[in-house]
Amino acid sequence: MVVLVDGLGLAALTARGGHARTLASRLARDAPISSVFPTTTASALASFATGTDPGRHGVVGYTALGPDGTVVNHLSGWDDGGLPRGWQRMPTCFERATAVGLRAVAIGPERYRGSGFTDAVLHGAEYLGGRSIADRFARAREVLAGPSALGYLYVPELDTAAHARGWESDTWVAALEELDAALATFLAGVGPRDGVLVTADHGVVDVPHERQVVVGDAALDGVVAVAGEPRCLQLHLAPGVDADEVAARWREREGRRAWVATRAEAVAAGWFGEVDPEVVPRIGDVLVAARDRVAYYIDPEDRGRRMIGQHGSLSADELAIPLLRFARWA
């Protein structure tokens, strides 16, 4: 059983380990791993489910340039008709498991059952819903009591709390404590042949309102679409606009608090892993990835400016995630 906790970055878990004794008990023993870039749920969950980089599965950001040339949301775009079913290009581990006769089960909130994104990244898995964290762990116990299975349990509550209040908030700590208590109860009933891993999709950086950067019109000269997320803008340029010149302009403006790269530079540097030709146009011509505690907004009235906890970029706090081994794999 793999328990994936959305937003449980290594830095945050280490800092608040006293509130999560079960999780923290493995921190000194189990080496951390790295998320993928961009460090956003859509991209990271697609990589987790397929074992491939964003440059191959094609989910290259929270939002990206879609097949009709407009910006689409990778969490909701399948449901509103903006994305075709094959947009996520790679087979999932659940499909591979069922092909060799294993039961494959995904456990998550009931509200995600049947969504386009769920189908894209969990294709091949039987979906079991649970309202609370404890409910989901109860479903996981039922799965482990049956025949051998590949199981996945998703916990979005910490990420939700971080977006609303920040990971340094009491709200986030309360969600961490709830998770740890449910995990401890679950592990007490796990059999000797069952293995349990706990990991995450990305970490979180708290960005206070005063560190938000509203991008002016001058910085968007030649830009026809902005995708990505506030901590990693992906700028798509009009035909004929020189990406090197736009990148140079952004480096002069933001080079001290962001990594700025053209698409060609980012692909060559391996930001997206191996990139298939079909995926290349989905990536922005110029990328602005925050290295400082900042977030970039185009619209000063953007409702997203209410968020405190953010992710999407290349900082260590966003990339480093735990991989904790319990039960048979401890």
What's the half-sphere exposure (Cβ side, CA atoms, 13 Å) at 70?
7
Q: What's the pLDDT at 81?
A: 87
Which amino acid appears at position 154 of this protein? Answer: Y
Tell me phi and psi for residue 69, to 5 degrees. Answer: 85, 5
Structure tokens at 74: 């990778």
Closest CA to 154 of 92, 184, 110: 110
pTM higher than the cut 0.95: yes
Residue 80 neighbours by CB under 8 Å, 6+ apart: none
In the chain, domain spans: 2-205+313-327, 209-310
Question: Rounded to whole angstroms, how far apart are CA atoms 203 and 8?
Answer: 6
Structure tokens at 83: 């994305």
Kind and range of the H or E run holding 48: helix 41-50
Q: Are 227 and 70 in contact (CB under 8 A)?
A: no
Q: Would you call 214 helix, strand, or coil by DSSP?
A: strand
Question: Rounded to whole angstroms, how far apart are CA atoms 214 and 303?
Answer: 13
Q: Are 255 and 288 in contact (CB under 8 A)?
A: no
pLDDT, averaged per 10 consecutive residues of the chain (330 residues), comes to 98 98 98 98 98 98 96 94 94 97 97 96 97 98 94 98 98 98 97 95 97 92 97 98 97 97 98 98 98 96 95 98 96
Strand stretches in 170-293, DSSP E = 195-200, 205-206, 212-214, 223-229, 232-237, 258-262, 286-290
CATH 3.30.930.10 assigned to 2-205+313-327: no
Q: What is the DSSP letter of 238?
A: P
Q: What's the sign of the alpha-carbon dihedral 210, 216, 220, 225?
A: positive
- The packing angle between helices 170-188 and 133-144, to 10°, is 20
Judge if the upstream peptide bond of residue 38 is cis by omega within 30 degrees of 0.
Answer: yes
Using only C-alpha atoms, what is the Rg of the chain?
A: 20
Q: What's the pLDDT at 200?
A: 98
Kind and range of the H or E run holding 154: strand 149-155
Q: What's the pLDDT at 37?
A: 98
What's the pLDDT tens digit per position in 68-126?
999 999 999 999 888 998 999 999 999 999 999 999 999 999 999 999 999 999 999 99
Maximum distance among all alpha carbons in the chain? 62
Q: CATH topology for 209-310?
A: Gyrase A; domain 2 (3.30.1360)
Q: What's the pLDDT at 78?
A: 93
